[in-house]
Structures are given as C-alpha cells and as structure tokens.
Amino acid sequence: MKKLLSMFLTLTMVLSLVAVAHAEDPYEVIIETVTFGAEYEDIPAIEEAINAITIPAINVTVKILNVGIPQHAQKISMMIAGGEKADLVMAGLTLPMVNMATDGMLLPLDELVANYGPDIQALFGDQLNAGKLSGVLYAVPADAYTAQSGGFIYNKEMADELGITVPNPVTVEELANIYATIKEKKPEVFGTSFGTGETSNALYDYNLETYGSNVYAYGVTLNQYENTEIVNMYATEEYKAYVLRHKEWVEKGFVPSDSMTSGVLNKERIAAGQMFGMTTNYSPLEAPTQQGNYTFPIGMVEITKAVSSTSGLQERMWGIPVSCKNPQKAMEFLNLMFANADVANLLSNGIEGLNYKLVDEGVITYADGVDPSAPGYDRIFSRFGDQMKVYQWEPATADFYAELAAFNDNALNSLTLGYSFNSENVATEVAAVNAVIAQYAPALECGMVTDVDAALATFNDQLVKAGINRIIEENQRQLAEWMAQ
C-alpha cells in the first residue's frame, strides 16, 4: 500500500513537473500549404499526428492553412495587412521574396535562425544567403536541393514508335532535327509548342540568371556560372537566334501557329498525343512528378547545364509574416520540420496507411482505398522539410535520393548565388518595362512575327525608353557591392 502510495506520489510529482515545464498552453503555429484549393478531409487527423510530436518537443500545435495558388498572393497579402495570425508562409511561389521583404510583410530572421534554427543552418549552410536582402535574412529556402537545368520532356512511347532516340543532354539543333523527323513521319503531330508565350522559355535553352522568377526586366546574366555581367536579354544575339529559330519552326509546321490564342495547354496537347514534347525545368524531382500527368511513359533530358542559383532557391521559401504572434515558436517549428522526418512526412504526404503506403525504401504510393482523383491530403506546391528525408511518390524509385544528391553536387554554382536584387529604387522603370515586355516578347518568342529585325528594334527601343538600362545599371551596382563584401 505504502509502495503504491509512494509510486502514486512520484507519478503525480513527475506529471506536475511535466505540467510545470509546459505550463503555458502550446502555441498554435499556422503553416500554409499551397494547393489548388480543394478541400482535404484528412487535414485534422494530420494536424493531430503532428501535434503528438510537436507538443512534447517544442510545445507547439500546428494548424494547416490550405490556400489555392491563384488566390495565394492576394489572400496572404490581405491576411498580413489585416494583422491576422499566420506563422509560416510560402514566399516566392506567387509573391517574390524580395517584394514581400521590401513591402514589410516579413520579419527579419537572422537572430531567430541563429538561436532556434541549428538544423536549418546545418542543412542549408551558405544557401541561406539566398533569403537575404541587403544583408538581412527574410526567408529560409523551403528546399535544399534546388539545382535546375533547362530540360525537355517528351512522349517516350511515340519516340520508340518512330525510332527516335533523344540524346541526353540534347541540343536545340538536335531537337529541331527530331521535330523534322516527326513532321515527316507523323505530319499531324507537332514537335513542340511555346504556349501563350506569356512566360518565356528562353531559360530552358540558355543558362540564364534572371534575378527573379520569370522576371526579365531586371536584366539577365548569361552563363551565370562563369559570368556576372548583367545585360538586356532582348538585345542579345542569343535572343535573336532564339526568336528566329522559333519563327523557322512555325514556318516548318513544327509548332502550332495558334498556340497563343487557342487556350490549349501544352500538357493537354502532349497528353492527347498531338505533340511530341516541350521544354521545361529539369531536376530529378521533375520526371516522377510530371509522369503523373500522362498515361504513357515519358522521357526527360537536359538541355542546359545544371546550376544552383538564387532564383532556384527563391522559388519556394518560408517566411514569418509580421502578423505572427510568436516568431520564436514559429522558427522552432520550422527548424523541427527540417530536423524531424516524421513531421516533414506528415506535412508532405499525410499519414501512413491512411494517405500513403510504402512500396520501396523511401518510395510511396496511395494507400489502399484512396481515390487518386480526390485524395484526403495532397501537398501540391509547397515543400515541407528536408527532401532527403521525405518519402517520394512513385514512379520515383529508391535510387531517387542518390540521384538528387548527385545532381545537386554536380551542379555548378551561379557566381551570384546568394545575391538578390532590390528593385525598389527603380520600381517605376520596372513596371514600365514589364508592360513593354508583355507587349512584344510573347509574339516574338512564339515565332509569330514576320519581320524579326524590325520588331526587335522597336521592342528594344521601347525598353530603353521605359528605362531598362537604368534598372540594369542599378542591378549591376548592387551586385558589385554584394560581391565586394
């Protein structure tokens, strides 16, 4: 009886100690997941499973805020403006990290990372600099393996049927020859297409540093792994060659002539067997994800050299918005997400048995009974945790992790890796230049302009008038300052 009593006493003491240690209520970290906005019924269960880990570890509970990507920029801006609580938001995906920082949406993270982010520092090392603007850290990359090259994805079944082998890496000249072969053997099938031309494909053909996702107004650096000169892309010989090549392809019928207006997505044309392939980002992460879009096997090859760059890292970043009520806890959770494979897996893939099942080492597929068209949870645009610790979906194989590591190890570093351009001083020029680009570039790049020389001349004339040289000068100046440090 005495023993029992003393045991009971010890137990209550231990329990009360635990209670004292965690006397405060756990802080709720609101972390967003960027999706297509569909409802995911398993989110509460996933939150619960994460809480079971995070409450004992850092006294934090998690709430997943599901935001559809088309509304993301607006919704997040408004929430931050309204002072609504949000703790970890995706920067870069829809709003450039630099703009979020200069618009005052994000808290500086230097001290938080130094004090509460040991695993973040260990994982990213120098790559963390990509989240810096004028020496202040505003965001942490969401993914440590972001080396990318320009690549080409194609219908492998069709290639085999026509006896085409696509070399890896492939050159644009070789691609042109392949398109010619297809035209000859299957006249009704297009080689490729440039879609609406609203986003340029130039960076798949050339190694380009753009200093911002899909922004060409800031100037570009060609072969950024060995060069730091910033130039107006639209005035380069390479761009002229690129445009002329596309014009030739339109004339030869390799690409559909109505792609700018037909509203048909490239993916749809390929899926319908009416187009051979298209240029795209290349990385070991891409092929397995893109395979999910097609019912036939696809092939993927590289065009440009793989490069690690600021823009790659800035594509997805975690920032702590100014409306966060407890930045320390938010950072502790962010750190835990990179350190703890279970948390990362829960956020990335859901719950084992409910959402997914393991089929191979580190490779998963839908759990039994899951309808792939309406899964209970899906991470679509966000990245959670260390991709080396996160299960990958089929058709990735167990080799995936080694491939990803090798790809990133072998990638060249951009000489400007870690540099970000702050366009605040030239915001007027940027807006004017972007408007000019929107007018001229799409038609040129889709090969729809007959007199390329004249169009390029007018285009560049307008760019200069809108102030592209002032932007480039400012960019070059900031870059020189950054390099001097």
Tell me which stretch binds another protein (CB under 8 A): 101-109, 161-169, 299-307, 401-409: 101-109
Does 139 bind another protein (CB under 8 A)? Our answer is no
Does 41 bind another protein (CB under 8 A)? Our answer is no
Does 109 bind another protein (CB under 8 A)? Our answer is no
Does 408 bind another protein (CB under 8 A)? Our answer is no
Does 217 bind another protein (CB under 8 A)? Our answer is yes
CA 315 to CA 370: how far, in whole Å?
30
- Our CB check for another protein shows the closer of 58 and 370 to be 370
Please count the residues of this chain forming the interface with another protein, following the rule CB under 8 A: 87
Task: List the structure tokens of 341.
Answer: 């494979």
- Our CB check for another protein shows the closer of 202 and 336 to be 202
Query: Do the bridges between strand 298-302 and strand 132-133 make them parallel or antiparallel, or are there none, so unpaired?
Result: unpaired
CA 397 centroid distance within chain? 22
CA 282 to CA 448: how far, in whole Å?
27
Task: Name the minimum Å distance from CB 122 to another protein.
Answer: 24
Of residues 295-324, those binding another protein (CB under 8 A): 315, 322
- Our CB check for another protein shows the closer of 335 and 420 to be 420
Of residues 460-479, those binding another protein (CB under 8 A): 462, 465-467
CA 163 to CA 170: how far, in whole Å?
16
Task: Name the minimum Å distance from CB 319 to another protein.
Answer: 12
Query: Of residues 1, 4, 21, 82, which one binds another protein by CB under 8 A?
Result: 82
Task: Name the minimum Å distance from CB 409 to another protein.
Answer: 19
Does 269 bind another protein (CB under 8 A)? Our answer is yes
Tell me which stretch binds another protein (CB under 8 A): 238-246, 342-350, 408-416, 420-428: 420-428
Q: How many residues does the chain have?
A: 485
Does 265 bind another protein (CB under 8 A)? Our answer is yes
Angstrom CA distances, 464 to 328, 429, 437, stand at 46, 10, 11
User: Among 122, 112, 137, 131, which Cα is nearest to 330's?
Assistant: 112
Of residues 235-264, those binding another protein (CB under 8 A): 257-258, 260-264
Query: Do the bridges between strand 363-366 and strand 356-360 make them parallel or antiparallel, or are there none, so unpaired?
Result: antiparallel
Task: List the structure tokens of 166.
Answer: 């696509």
User: Among 347, 336, 371, 355, which Cα is nearest to 65's?
Assistant: 347
Query: Of residues 31, 49, 58, 80, which one binds another protein by CB under 8 A?
Result: 80
Does 294 bind another protein (CB under 8 A)? Our answer is yes
Task: List the structure tokens of 80.
Answer: 């931050």
Does 134 bind another protein (CB under 8 A)? Our answer is no
User: Residues 426, 477: contact at Cβ < 8 Å?
Assistant: no
- Our CB check for another protein shows the closer of 10 and 74 to be 74
| Bond into 169 cis (ω within 30) | yes
CA 130 to CA 319: how far, in whole Å?
13
Query: Of residues 448, 456, 468, 472, which one binds another protein by CB under 8 A?
Result: 448
Does 232 bind another protein (CB under 8 A)? Our answer is no
Tell me which stretch binds another protein (CB under 8 A): 21-29, 60-68, 112-120, 238-246: 60-68
Angstrom CA distances, 287 to 158, 183, 280, 330, stand at 17, 26, 10, 33
| Residue 39: count of CB within 10 angstroms of its CB | 9
The DSSP H or E segment spanning 367 is: none
Query: Of residues 305, 443, 452, 469, which one binds another protein by CB under 8 A?
Result: 443
